[in-house]
Amino acid sequence: MENLQILLTLIVIFSVLLLIFRKAVLWYWKVNKAIDLLEKIEKNTRKDNHTG
């Protein structure tokens, strides 16, 4: 019974850590995606200013 309690505790801890890590990874990639979009916008804006 004690081993089962230790196992369940470890599973809960591992699950919480995975959720935290997942949230951090998703946040990180969304930031990178936003930077890519901003760079594209900047490139298009500069291109439009040079043709005017």
* pTM of the complete model: 0.54
Cα of 1 vs its chain's centroid, Å: 38
- Percentage of the chain modeled with pLDDT above 70: 94
pLDDT tens-digit series, residues 3-25: 999 999 999 999 999 999 998 99
Mean pLDDT value of segment 32-39: 92
List C-alpha distances in Å: 19 to 14, 25, 28. Answer: 9, 10, 14
